[in-house]
Structure 1
Amino acid sequence: LEGLDGGTPRTIEGPLYVEGAPLSVGEAKMVDGKTPGQGMLLHGKVVDEEGNPIAGAVVDIWHADSKGGYSYFDPSQSAFNLRRRIETDENGNYTARSIVPSGYGCPPGGSTIKVLEGLGRHGNRPAHIHYFVSKASYKHLTTQINLSGDKYTYDDFAFATKDELVIDARPIADKTLIKENGFEDNYFDVEFNICLVKTDKSAAQDMHPRERASQ
């Protein structure tokens, strides 16, 4: 897109964002304690193009549960489950404790999957995690990461995969780290660092305008 070069690559928002997720500083627990799944520590640093940390950037994260369902759209989940906004700390860091998401497919029998099947295509998406990242004087970033190893990572029907956004989920079994990071058992470590691009254009600092769900 014109004027959007540089920084962390952008990709699609998707249709399942919900406005108004709880906001915290530095770190957040995304899972409500009732949702089963493999523990995941999601963390990273937000920097500018010179590598300087950006404090006070809002990292808005949302993803599916281990069955591919999203809160708000899946009535079995609590409000804002697996949805959080985290303001980066003085060193530009953010940390989220969550669970490993699952990929999902278009609903069977729906119009979308009928069109895809008519074209000889499937309707599956790999495991992924959505991000909005924003800070005054920087271009708003809409992106998502894919977890490596998913069978659909490079066969996403939504064509959202980019090589720079495929991230390893590193298994952690060290008992000291498990305790330090607030888990009860082995977890996966996912590090995603983000680079924002400065701009003086106010329109570029805002998310793309469209109707979004809120609660």
Structure 2
Amino acid sequence: MNREQISDLVKQMNVDTATGPVDTRIQKIIVRLVTDLFQAIDELDIQPSEVWKGLEYLTDAGQSNELGLLAAGLGLEHFLDLRADEVDLQAGLTGGTPRTIEGPLYVAGAPESVGFARMDDGSESEEVETLIIEGTVTDTEGQLIENAKVEIWHANGLGNYSFFDKSQSEFNLRRTIFTDQVGKYVAQTTMPVGYGCPPEGTTQALLNKLGRHGNRPSHVHYFVSAPGYRKLTTQFNIEGDQYLWDDFAFATREGLVATAVDVTDPAEIQRRGLNKPFKFICFNFKLLKDVENAPPAEVERRRLCA
């Protein structure tokens, strides 16, 4: 069948059969996607067994709660970022900290503080190095933004996230810090490590078919927002990780690589209230001012709420 014949068939089945109110946006999207799917089946000679195996795979991925991971692994989430970059550029929105993927592991409701927060519960203090993350939030002209909301989350020393890893305490390595009067935030936490997709999971099963690994470098996630500014979804990946530029989720971008510096000076250790050397990362953010008729910066999606 050619494209025109397929389009007519899809219209007959999904448009002409309507007998009630129609969401025209949903209808338009479904018609396009089904048409493209039918054409792919025809052109690639996808067999019925392959179609049903694909549907079974999506069912299994949904039941194992891995569709968000799959979206990152196949580049869908990165593509949405690249497309949003183009839309921002066309709207004249430039100069801010680059965006990158959110991933599937955010949890709303983390404890809040102003200026400083300790993110870890102390359970890994003897095994994992302490990390101090410090930075400022400004606009693109360098004006400091007081009371900006900096939401931070990352994995523990085993590459696992609280709530998803039931062995961790609630909100371990998750905090919300509002910047102080000079636009500064400071987080005391532990060094995150990279992690891989569950080796027996549905995402890794598909990546195996593609000859790809499912590993991520060490990284820290952020939401940064303030009244009058566009919400930023981003993360930094840490220099030195073997997967820094080979992230299976395609999240590493220029401007989003951080260097962890070893701090051994006794005076600085004491000033930080610590009793041993630590790692230090400085990471600043530049927010774009919101403008009328700009594309939305807030992404609506289902997220876990504790």
Q: TM-score range by the shorter chain?
A: over 0.9
The structure richer in helix per residue is 2
Aligned to 1:29: 118
Which consecutive unaligned segments of at least 5 residues does structure 2 have?
Answer: 1-83
Deviates more, 1:193-202 or 1:32-41: 193-202
1:57 aligns with 2:148: yes
Matches within 5 A, 1:87-126: 87-126=178-217
Alpha carbons of 1:79 and 1:101: their partners in 2 closer, same or farther (altered >3 Å)?
Answer: same
Choose which of 216, 233, 237 in structure 2 pairs with 1:142: 233
TM-score of the pair, normalised by structure 1: 0.96
Equivalent residue in structure 2 for 1:20, among 109, 115, 130:
109
Matched-pair contact (CA < 8 Å) for 1:136–1:205: no
Contiguous gaps of at least 5 residues in structure 1: none
**Counterparts in 2 of 1:192-211, with a 5 A limit?**
192-201=283-292, 207-211=298-302
For normalisation by structure 2, the TM-score amounts to: 0.68
Q: Post-superposition, which runs of at least 4 consecutive aligned residues in structure 1 deviate over 4 A?
A: 201-206
Q: What is aligned with 1:85?
A: 176
Q: Which has the higher contact order (CA 8 A, sep 6+)?
A: 1
Deviation track 1:106-143 (CA, whole Å, cap 9, x = no partner) reads 00111111111111110000000000000010000000
Contact 1:137 1:205 in 2 (8 A): no
Question: Does structure 2 retain, via aligned residues, the 8 Å contact 1:135–1:205?
Answer: no
Q: What code does the residue aligned with 1:29 have?
A: R
The offset of 1:177, in angstroms, is 0.7
1:156-215 residue CA offsets vs partner (Å, 9 max, x unmatched): 000000121011000001111111112221100000010001014598676311111111
Would you say how many aligned residue pairs link Structure 1 and Structure 2? 215
Query: CA separation in 2, counterparts of 1:130 and 1:70?
Result: 12
Considering only CA atoms, is the larger Rg found in Structure 1 or Structure 2?
Answer: 2
Question: In the TM superposition, what are the counterparts of 1:123-134 in structure 2 within 5 Å?
Answer: 123-134=214-225
The 1:99–1:204 alpha-carbon spacing in structure 2 relative to 1, beyond 3 Å, is: farther
Identity of aligned residues (%): 50
CA separation in 1, counterparts of 2:241 and 2:172? 23
Q: Once superposed, what is the RMSD of the aligned Cα atoms?
A: 1.5
Secondary structure in structure 2 of the residue aligned to 1:136: coil
